[in-house]
Amino acid sequence: MAAFALATLGLGHATAQDSGPLVTVDSGSLEGVATDRAEQFLGIPYAAPPIKDLRFSPPRPAIAWTGTVAADDLPPACLQFEPKGALEGQAASEDCLYLSLYRPLGATASDARPVMVYFHGGAWTQGTSANYGGASLVAETGVIEISINYRLGALGYLAHPELSAETPMGSGNYGTMDQIAALEWVKRNVAAFGGDPDNVTIFGQSAGAGSVCALLAAPSAAGLFHRAILHSLPCGWVSTDLKTAEPSGVAFAEAVGCPAGADQVACLRGVWAGTLIAHQADYTGGIKVGGGLIPVAPEAAIASGEWNQVPMLVGATRSEFKLIAMLLMPELYGVTAETYPDMVRKVYSDRADAVLELYPLANFNSPYEAITQAMGDEAFVCGTGATVAKLAEWVPTYQYEFDDRTSPGLYGFDGPPGADMSNGHSADLQYLFDYDLGAADLDVTQEKLATQMMHYWASFAAKGDPNFDGGPVWPQWTDNQQVLALRAGGESTPITSFAADHNCDFWSGN
């Protein structure tokens, strides 16, 4: 961030020629940009650059600056392997702990608006906050939206016994520590933008939802948020044990040229960052549980009641695995009607006959859709239902299923010939954000659903209940298991057939 680099090095400061909105935070003064829809403050540092001796360390406070700095440029993405989530031409850097804040035009410090803080997805190895602009959301609903970057890959999630010994929080969760630091920044500073620090909703999709699950189970995150939203990842996926993962950190260090011994961690902090990224496959990734930061796996914490209990909104897209299979199982791309039974037997072995009966080709447009529906129901959708059932024992919980069967897919992922790629993983994001990774713009009926979703999400952020005047009623999830099906044209409706539609009794072994 050039403007911040100048300021913190004492070389001057940058200010936009045309006067923009001015806000002072605990590190210094900022000048944002007013567009025709919203005011935005882009690339605000919430922590010090995690470089050199601060690599593989908990985040430190942001470095203060003098003068007024222009917050008018999207931040670099955190360093990552194959940055599919980064904008074309956007830099990626190890110096990446920035957030971007969007507020309605005319917002003032006395407004006390609901605040929504978003964590992007990308398997904890990819992605960037820059893809999740909040101008449309805040203009439509009046909330304040914040998207943050957090460390990714080995730089964010490397577990190592020596690193674990450096802090009571343990290692392997530097990205989660970044998220907590960002929420602490929000608590200290968001009132200056017109936000209410006592009404903060965290939300995320895929790995971002997993991050939310981790924060639900992190004692040090208590009180930093007041509601939470999970898109497209059950909390049961966040369960890698820290002690089990630590040996992979030692092997990773050796793979990047740092031999075992007392100086291994010091060596890791000095290795060229590109070398670390090139060896991403040589460590156990993702969030770690069992240390001081996340003592117990989120699913177990929720079941016991020992978690940061807040109202919850949880859901998934109807056909999550359509996109994921293209990334993880490219051999499915070529499945045909003739090879479908054999592929099902390869994937499901002794359960294959039951899967073939539950997912007959006659019910789908293509064999690819059939097998990916089965896999998505097992891995994502029914797991989401199980997470909802556990959460609902403790707090008000609302479940949705994104079911716009005309939704655009993801840019660059066209799917096999004849396959319908609607309703796949990430399809819902274009309906909430100024999201530039959709394969096509939303049409008029989809825009109606987008507007409806924005109001549901914002109403939940405001009061813990997504219902708003004029919208279809969204029942709270109880024993009747009502789920809101989000459908094009605003024709959203509660359903009770969610578990049956996805064969969840079969997948859960009931």
Integer-rounded Cα Rg, in Å, for the chain is 23
For the record, the structure tokens of 362 come out as 């006659």
Phi, psi for 24 (deg, rounded to 5): -110, 125
Task: Find how far residue 507's CA is from the centre of its chain.
Answer: 25
Distance CA 421, CA 320 (A): 10
Rounded-to-integer distance, Cα 376 and Cα 368, Å: 12
Token look-up 């156990």 returns 284
User: DSSP letter at 87?
Assistant: P
Which residue is catalytic, options 136, 206, 232, 248? 206
CA-wise closest residue to 451 among 436, 465, 430, 437 = 430
| The one-letter amino acid at 392 | A
Query: 424 and 375 in contact (C-beta within 8 Å)?
Result: no
Residues pairing with 483 in the sheet: 495
Q: What are phi and psi of 151, to 5 degrees?
A: -60, 145
Q: How far apart are CA 204 and CA 27, in angstroms?
A: 27
Q: How many CA atoms lie within 13 A of 498 on its CB side?
A: 30
Q: Facing residues of 42 across strands?
A: 72
State whether residue 30 is helix, strand or coil.
strand
Going by C-alpha positions, the residue among 136, 149, 143 that lies closest to residue 116 is 143
Q: Please confirm, yes or no, whether 171 is among the known catalytic residues.
A: no
Q: Which two tokens stand for residue 166?
A: 């450096």
| Maximum C-alpha span of the chain | 70
Among candidate residues 69, 291, 82, 266, the one with its CA nearest the CA of residue 176: 291
Spatial neighbors of 284 by CB under 8 A, at least 6 apart, are 159, 240, 244, 245, 248, 249
Q: Are 318 and 423 in contact (CB under 8 A)?
A: yes
Structure tokens belonging to residue 366? 């293509």
Specify which residues 398 forms β-bridges with: 313
Question: Mind giving me the DSSP string for 435-475?
Answer: -TTBSS---HHHHHHHHHHHHHHHHHHHHS----TTSPP-P
Which positions are annotated as active-site residues? Answer: 206
